[in-house]
Every structure is written in C-alpha cells, then in structure tokens.
Amino acid sequence: MNFPSQQIGDFSVTAISDGFLSAPLDMLSNIDPADAARIQRDAGVIDPSAIHINCYLIRSETRTVLVDAGAGGFKQWGGRLRDNLKRAGVLPSDVDTILLTHAHPDHIGGLLDSTGEPCFPNAELVLHAQELAFWQSDANLHRASERARGNFLFARRVFEKYRDRLRVFVGEEVLPGIGAQPLPGHTAGHCGYRIQSKDQDLLIWGDIVHFPHLQISRPEVSIAFDLDPQLAAQTRVGLLDMVSADPVSYTHLTLPTIHYKCRYRWWPGD
Ligand SMILES: [Zn+2]
C-alpha cells in the first residue's frame, strides 16, 4: 500500500490515516449549516460531516517518530492507525517518540490499546507544558461541560499510563531537526511541528482546520471543539498567510496528504 510521503532532508514524512470521525455541521460558528453543507457538496464531499484523522510518521536513520496517535476507536472514531502503520512497515514497538499536537481524544485515543494499556511500549510521549497543565488542572475540570469532562478524564488516564516517559517542553526545541510551533486557540497548548533538514522544511499543523473546504476559504469559521474560538480563528488566519508559500501537512485533511500550498487552494501530493 502506498502512503503519501515526502522526503525533507534526512527525514521521510508519511501521512498515515486513522480513519474518520463524524461531527455535525451545526458545531460550526460564523456560518449557516445550510451554507456549510452546500460548500461541502460543491467541493464533492460525499459525507459532509466526516472529519478525517491523519497521523504523521517521521523517520530518519536513527529515529521513528509519530505525530499524534489518532482516536484509536474512542467513541468508535478512527482506529485504523495500528494496521496502517504495519502496512507502512512500522510496529508500535518501533516508535521511539510520539509528539502530540494536543490532547483531544481523536489525537490520543490510539495511545491505549483495547485493554486500556499503552499501545507504544518504547515511545516517549512529548507535549507542550501548557497542554499537560490544562488537562491536569482540577479548576479546569470543574468548569468543563459534560462533553469536555469526558475528554479531561480520558486525557488524564492516558497521561497516567505514560507517566514514566512523559516529557513536556516550553520552548521550540523538541528533537534534533524538529521544532514546536505554538498555535494557541484550539487548545491551551496546541502546537504544530516543523521539520527542518538540509534547507527543506515542512510544518505539521494539527487542528488548524477541521473542514478544509470550509475553513481555508472561510478562516473565521470555528468549530465547537475550539477552546477559544476567536483566538483559534486568529491563529488560523495568521498561519494561512504565513504558509501561502510553504509546504504544510495537516491532521484533518480529507485525504492523508503532505502539501498545502498557496492560499485558498490545495493540491494533494503536489
Ligand atoms: Zn482537536
């Protein structure tokens, strides 16, 4: 099976699908759900409420790194990561580092197996200090809605299972050749990861858009999953401007792919 791949200097980056989740269009703000459905239909989207979940495998001679771990079947979302990794020639025990863009369940569900134990026995789990602090805060938990409360408890369970190999960062340096880029708004410590090697670079930007056809042309459209919808929109607008000439890869693109180039248009595999 061929997975979309890109060589960035010494690193090969491969998009690996975990499957998809479903989110009704009325979870969007700043757009009428009927307009949203029309834009999705016009773009040829068959199931307008499907949000695709992609993870990224970064390999070098010495490292096997995964960015996010998919939903792993949480609420019956996704769950295909492990099989797809195997098809790409990677076993869970091969992964030495997992970089989290953030700790929503569709990004950390795949860290636990069906018995609730760690799926990646040798991986260090790395995330922004602010992201960990947000989910560990009892004050935040008590303020949370019913839906969000489940996310808190789930994130805490995952962190507990990986507690002996959890690493948080505050600056940009994460691994040699891989740096973090804070992209606040979607969650408190939401980050992208920039891979830089031999004059080439690629940004994996996490949850900047959930519905690419809607939010790239209408960046003011936010989703109820955003912790701070206004800040998320601001970050999205700024980033779309910044990456207008840069390659970028993202979690919820309809098909797993590597490049997004040129503002308001995308070319899979370009
Ligand atoms: Zn998210």
For residue 244, is pLDDT > 50? Answer: yes
SS (H, E, C) 14-49: EEEEEEEEECCHHHEECCCHHHHHHHHHHCCCCCCC
Q: How many angstroms is it from 208 CA to the middle of ligand 1? A: 9
For residue 247, is pLDDT > 70? Answer: no
Q: Region 101-127: what's the mean pLDDT?
A: 96
For residue 267, is pLDDT > 60? Answer: no
Q: Region 57-80: what's the mean pLDDT?
A: 95
Q: Region 65-83: what's the mean pLDDT?
A: 94
Q: At what angle do helices 129-136 and 146-161 cross, to 10 degrees?
A: 120
Which secondary structure element, helix H or strand E, spans residue 267, and what is its range? none
Q: Region 249-269: what's the mean pLDDT?
A: 42
Please provide the DSSP assignment of 202-243 as one string: EEE--TT-SSHHHHTT-TT-EETT-SSHHHHHHHHHHHHHHG
Q: How many angstroms is it from 107 CA to the middle of ligand 1? A: 7
Q: How many angstroms is it from 86 CA to the middle of ligand 1? A: 25
User: What's the mean per-residue pLDDT of the chain?
Assistant: 87
For residue 270, is pLDDT > 80? Answer: no
Tell me which of 158 and 210 has the higher pLDDT. Answer: 158
Strands of the sheet with 11-22, listed across from one edge: 5-8, 11-22, 50-59, 64-67, 97-99, 124-128, 166-169
Q: How many angstroms is it from 61 CA to the middle of ligand 1? A: 31
Q: How many angstroms is it from 263 CA to the middle of ligand 1? A: 22
pLDDT of the residue at 269: 29
Q: Which long-range contacts (CB under 8 A, 24 or more apart) does 90-93 make?
A: 90/57, 90/64, 92/119, 92/120, 92/121, 92/123, 93/120, 93/121, 93/122
Q: How many angstroms is it from 154 CA to the middle of ligand 1? A: 14
CA 269 to chain centre: 19
Cα–Cα distance, 80 to 123 (Å, whole number): 19
Q: Which residues contact 45 (CB under 8 A, 6 or more apart)?
A: 213, 254
% of the chain beyond a pLDDT of 70: 90
pLDDT in tens, 226-240: 899 999 999 988 888
Q: How many angstroms is it from 207 CA to the middle of ligand 1? A: 5
Q: How many angstroms is it from 25 CA to the middle of ligand 1? A: 16
Q: Which of the four pLDDT bands, split at 50, 70 and 90, describes residue 95? A: very high
For residue 180, is pLDDT > 60? Answer: yes
CA 55 to chain centre: 7
CA distances from 16 to 9, 41, 139, 161, 269 (A): 20, 25, 36, 24, 14
Tell me which of 166 and 53 has the higher pLDDT. Answer: 166
Are 204 and 214 in contact by the 8 Å Cβ rule? The answer is no
Cα 48-50-51 angle, rounded to 5 deg: 120
CA 31 to chain centre: 23
pLDDT of the residue at 249: 58
Q: What are the residues facing 66 on neighbouring strands?
A: 57, 98
Q: How many angstroms is it from 199 CA to the middle of ligand 1? A: 30
pLDDT in tens, 116-148: 999 999 999 999 999 999 999 999 999 999 889
Q: How many angstroms is it from 225 CA to the middle of ligand 1? A: 6
Q: How many angstroms is it from 176 CA to the middle of ligand 1? A: 26
For residue 45, is pLDDT > 90? Answer: no
pLDDT in tens, 210-220: 887 888 888 88
Q: How many angstroms is it from 227 CA to the middle of ligand 1? A: 9
**Other CB atoms within 10 A of residue 72 CB:** 26
Which tokens in the block code for residue 17? 């699908």
Q: How many angstroms is it from 162 CA to the middle of ligand 1? A: 20
pLDDT of the residue at 144: 92
Q: How many angstroms is it from 104 CA to the middle of ligand 1? A: 5
pLDDT of the residue at 253: 54
Are 70 and 103 in contact by the 8 Å Cβ rule? The answer is no
Q: How many angstroms is it from 175 CA to the middle of ligand 1? A: 23
Q: How many angstroms is it from 198 CA to the middle of ligand 1? A: 31
Q: How many angstroms is it from 147 CA to the middle of ligand 1? A: 13
